């Protein structure tokens, strides 16, 4: 039973364009959401997060949108750069225990 789903295994965009990565969740107890970026042979690196009391959080080129009614969040990267090429994991937490449940990840390739 996958509680956090990233249905696109891969995404390819041109440099300078927008990258949109999507994530769906099923557990209504989730109230905090994070995006991690992972390069090959490295651990995941925290990118941006959002609490369920917000519907948008922005940090430079990265914006996360949360639609609680649809149980959906998305990460927008504008403009996309070749260095953004990595696997992006969506993660969620909630309830009495702060632990992260991860999606399977989306491989983003930004072409020069």
Partner 1 sequence: EAGVAQSPRYKIIEKRQSVAFWCNPISGHATLYWYQQILGQGPKLLIQFQNNGVVDDSQLPKDRFSAERLKGVDSTLKIQPAKLEDSAVYLCASSLSERSGNTIYFGEGSWLTVV
> Among 27, 49, 57, 74, which residue interacts with partner 1 (rule: CB under 8 A)?
49
How many helices, marked H, and strands, marked E, lie in the chain?
0, 11
**Per-residue exposure over 21-51, b if at least 16 CB sit within 10 Å of its own CB, e if not:** bbbbbeeeebeebbbbbbeeeeebeebbbbe
Q: From the CB of 32, what's the least distance to partner 1, in Å? A: 5
Q: Does 31 bind partner 1 (CB under 8 A)?
A: yes
Kindly tell me which residue out of 32, 57, 71, 72 binds partner 1, with binding defined by CB under 8 A. 32
Q: Map residues 83-102 to x or -, x wherever contact with partner 1 holds by CB under 8 A.
A: ------x-x-xx--xxxxxx
Sign of CA dihedral 94, 99, 102, 107: positive
* Binding region for partner 1 (CB under 8 A): 4, 6, 31-32, 34, 36, 41-46, 49, 51, 89, 91, 93-94, 97-105
């Amino acid at each position: 039973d996958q509680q956090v789903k990233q249905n696109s295994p891969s995404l390819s965009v041109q440099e300078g364009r927008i990258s949109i990565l999507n994530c769906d969740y099923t557990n209504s107890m989730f109230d905090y959401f994070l995006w991690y970026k992972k390069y090959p042979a490295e651990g995941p690196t925290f990118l941006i997060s959002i609490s369920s009391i917000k519907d948008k959080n922005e940090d430079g080129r990265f914006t996360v949108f949360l639609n609680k009614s649809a149980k959906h969040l998305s990460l927008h990267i504008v403009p996309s750069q070749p260095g953004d090429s990595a696997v992006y994991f969506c993660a969620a937490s909630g309830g009495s225990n702060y632990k992260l449940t991860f999606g399977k990840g989306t491989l983003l390739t930004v072409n020069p």
